[in-house]
Amino acid sequence: MTTAIPAAGWTGALLGLAASLVLAVLGLRAQRRPEAVRHRQLRVTVWLMLGGAVLAMLALEVALLTDNFALAYVAQTHSRSSSLLFTLTTAWSGLGGSLVLWALVLAGYTAAVARGVTSTADRLGTGALGVLGLVAVFFFGLITTAANPFEILANPPADGPGPNPLLRDHLMVAFHPPMLYLGYVGFTVPFAFAMSALLLRRGGVEWLRRTRRANLVAWTFLTGGLVLGGWWSYEVLGWGGYWAWDPVENAALIPWLVATAFIHSAVIQVRRGMLQAWNFVLVLATFALTILGTFLTRSSVVASVHSFSQSAVGPALLGFFMLVLGGGFALFALRGERVASLSRPESLASREGAVLVNNLLLTLFAFVVLLGTVYPILVEAFTGAQVSIGRPYFDRMALPLAFALLLAMGVGPFTPYRRATAGLLWSRLRFPLLGGSAATATLVLAGVRSVGVLAVAFLAVSMAAATVRQVLVSAPGRRPRDVLRLVCGQRDYWGGQLAHLGVALVAVVIAVSGALATRATLTLDRGAATEFAGYTVTFERSEQHPGPDRLITDAHIVFRSGGQVVRVDEPRLSAFAGQPQAVGAPSVWTTPTRDIYVALADLSPQRVTLNLYRYPLMSWLWVGGGLVMAGGCWALSGRTRRSEGAELPAAGKVPAHA
């Protein structure tokens, strides 16, 4: 009986592998000779692949829920005492399981693509399915070989150590990884369509239109994954920050930057027919960088909180990365001439010029982050010496790029296509600029002396004012209904603006919380009190709470204002059975104007050492991140303009849907 579940898992993985192989062959064949493959065959294959992935995932979950320690993965990452939630999330807390999730998400995206391919005459679509199949072969291959979670142990243990303590202490583990995967894996779809278009020697905007949704979905999820990751780090890790430029954080940021560039330049290609070849480069790069990011995460090349363990997956991923990069760019080099656009922007002072600058800045940003992340690895590989590249480098590099991006964001969306005169720009931006300067003057008068905060505030307020102005000017009337109609009409534009506002808010919070933070490290005897940020802080007592799988030791830190108790913070340490390392969890007291962050540095029953931080406006960071995501969702919610109906049947293109 104990072997039924592993067997089911195995079956699912093998089924997925076989189906993805067949899909790769059928899809690419159908692209070459549409009449040689029947549409039904493709559909069945895709469903089989999805079924295999679902079966594998289900088997894993069932094995975890039934404490089936005969399964190697369960024995390594599960313990009987884990609660239901963390038992479910354990399915992606280890290497093998996370790859199963990856394959499942990939199969899901493939099924979504297959729904849009209504006949084998759709050569772009069938080719894309073939490429998706190829990618799936790799991941199912990993599951069945190097990182097999379904291996059966001859002598199963009675209980296991449970997942990494950090992965069973916060609800976020149920959201952050799946979201990140939905983002990461989603970029396979644009890649597959781009490859298919190159194979067909067909440029044009069809592949862009058809991948717009997938790309936006992936981008929105990746944005969410990044924001949630930051939130998790802030709420759980207790070092007082949300972004450490950890190699693996960088690995998720780099594809996000490139994908953001692609979203912008895709619009220019669709509108003005420019940047075609560049769009291919961006899509290829985004996908390749997701694989590189996975390699960095999973291979322990970089030591990081995210790396699971050393395994054979690393070399396999590196090989796949090089294959994608080599294969993709070779194909691009061979077919590049066919897809190069011949028209070019007339002037930098135009929408397309602004997007060009935006693309330059974003790719430069991605390059800098990539360089800082892999440089120590390369130096070590070539010279054997170890060097460190950390936060100060990234901060210093990111600062000018971020300001330039904010500036481009403030000007670009309000610039007309083709050519803008200085007079036109001035008339559109004069009142926003006035608003921005009024904001900085107010801040200075209020006592803010940080140049960074003032500069960011100037840019952000100007941008927000320009957006409001744009709404008022282009709305048919001033009533809320008119504004709503406008915003519902052009959802990509206004979704984009919403995302820009979110980014501006994030920038303001990063600047303010960084420059105006208050920090203190305090050691308090029991009952002793001290002052912090206008409050009297007392260490009242420390309590122990045994739980089913952990022992929680907390400290009661009481905040008083004018003698009144206003808050009791309980930062805690959780020690897990079978895990050597205890996990500290800070306590965060959030109000709209500031966060007070209490982290334990040292704790004994009679004495506590605390790291206290006061971050102004901190909670708005998550709101800003949410706005960016909401912008993506808003753009997604609209019907694609010039969708299928407007597509002109040109020579060599797909005939109308069969």
Partner 1 sequence: MRSRAVDLGVAVAALALLAVTALGLLIGGPAGTDRADELAQRLRCPVCTSVSIAESQSDTAVAMRQAVAEQIDAGRSDAEIIDYFRARYGDWVLIDPPARGRTMLVWVLPAVAALVGFAVVLARTRRTALPVAELAVDPAPAVLEQVDQPAPDPGHDRSRRARVAAYALTALAALVAAGVLLPRSVGERPAGGFVTGNEIGRPGPGPLIRDPAAVSDAELEAAVAANPGVVGMRLALAERYLAQGDYDRAGQHYSEALRREPGNPEAQAHFGWLLLQLGRPVEALEWVDRALAAPERPPLDALWFRANIALHGLDDPAAALDALERMRDRDDLSPTVAQQVDELAALARQRQSGPEQRR
Contacts to partner 1 from residues 71-110, by CB under 8 A:
none
HEC profile for 594-644?
A: EEEEEEEEEEECCEEEEEEEEEECCCHHHHHHHHHHHHHHHHHHCCCCCCH
Q: Which of residues 251-280 bind partner 1 (CB under 8 A)?
A: 271-273, 276
Q: Is 583 in the site for partner 1 (CB under 8 A)?
A: yes
Q: Which of 111, 397, 424, 471 binds partner 1 (CB under 8 A)?
A: 397
The string of DSSP codes covering 349-368 is: SSHHHHHHHHHHHHHHHHHH
H helices of 187-275, in order, are 188-199, 206-232, 247-272
Smallest gap from residue 265 Cβ to partner 1 (A): 12
Smallest gap from residue 421 Cβ to partner 1 (A): 14
Instruction: Give the binding range for partner 1 (CB under 8 A) out of 4-12, 116-124, 252-260, 383-391.
Output: 383-391
Do you know the residue count of the chain? Answer: 658
Q: Which of residues 186-205 bind partner 1 (CB under 8 A)?
A: 201-205
Find out whether 72 and 153 touch, Cβ atoms under 8 Å: yes
Q: Which of 380, 525, 531, 543 binds partner 1 (CB under 8 A)?
A: 380
Q: Is 424 in the site for partner 1 (CB under 8 A)?
A: no
Any idea which residue has 């309000």 for tokens? 414
CA angle 319/58/77 to nearest 5° reads 65
Q: Is 577 in the site for partner 1 (CB under 8 A)?
A: no
Instruction: Give the binding range for partner 1 (CB under 8 A) out of 5-13, 15-23, 429-437, 473-481.
Output: 429-437
Instruction: Give the binding range for partner 1 (CB under 8 A) out of 25-33, 47-55, 297-305, 467-475.
Output: 297-305
Q: Which of residues 155-174 bind partner 1 (CB under 8 A)?
A: 166
- Please state, in angstroms and rounded to a whole number, the distance separating the CA atoms of residues 621 and 625: 6
Residues 6 or more apart whose CB falls under 8 angstroms from that of 477 comprise none
Smallest gap from residue 341 Cβ to partner 1 (A): 7
Any idea which residue has 């790719």 for tokens? 363
Q: Is 515 in the site for partner 1 (CB under 8 A)?
A: yes
Q: Which of 537, 603, 618, 635 binds partner 1 (CB under 8 A)?
A: 603
Cβ proximity to partner 1, 161 vs 336, nearer residue:
336
Q: Is 121 in the site for partner 1 (CB under 8 A)?
A: no
Count of beta carbons in the 10 Å neighbourhood of residue 601 = 14
Smallest gap from residue 640 Cβ to partner 1 (A): 14
Q: Is 3 in the site for partner 1 (CB under 8 A)?
A: no
CA distances from 474 to 267, 351, 429, 466 (A): 20, 17, 15, 12
Q: Is 651 in the site for partner 1 (CB under 8 A)?
A: yes
Smallest gap from residue 19 Cβ to partner 1 (A): 30
Q: Is 346 in the site for partner 1 (CB under 8 A)?
A: yes
- Please state, in angstroms and rounded to a whole number, the distance separating the CA atoms of residues 527 and 534: 18
Instruction: Give the binding range for partner 1 (CB under 8 A) out of 51-59, 60-68, 367-375, 628-636.
Output: 367-375
Structure tokens that stand for 511 in this block: 């600047």
Q: Is 602 in the site for partner 1 (CB under 8 A)?
A: yes
Q: Which of 299, 415, 467, 587 binds partner 1 (CB under 8 A)?
A: 299
Give the contact letters, 621-650, x = binds to partner 1 (CB under 8 A), - = no: --------------------------xx-x
Q: Is 525 in the site for partner 1 (CB under 8 A)?
A: no
Q: Is 386 in the site for partner 1 (CB under 8 A)?
A: yes
- Please state, in angstroms and rounded to a whole number, the distance separating the CA atoms of residues 60 and 86: 14
Q: Is 600 in the site for partner 1 (CB under 8 A)?
A: yes
Count of beta carbons in the 10 Å neighbourhood of residue 4 = 12
Find out whether 530 and 522 touch, Cβ atoms under 8 Å: yes
H helices of 66-94, in order, are 72-77, 84-89
Instruction: Give the binding range for partner 1 (CB under 8 A) out of 66-74, 138-146, 177-185, 352-360.
Output: 352-360
Helix (H) and strand (E) counts for the chain?
Answer: 19, 10
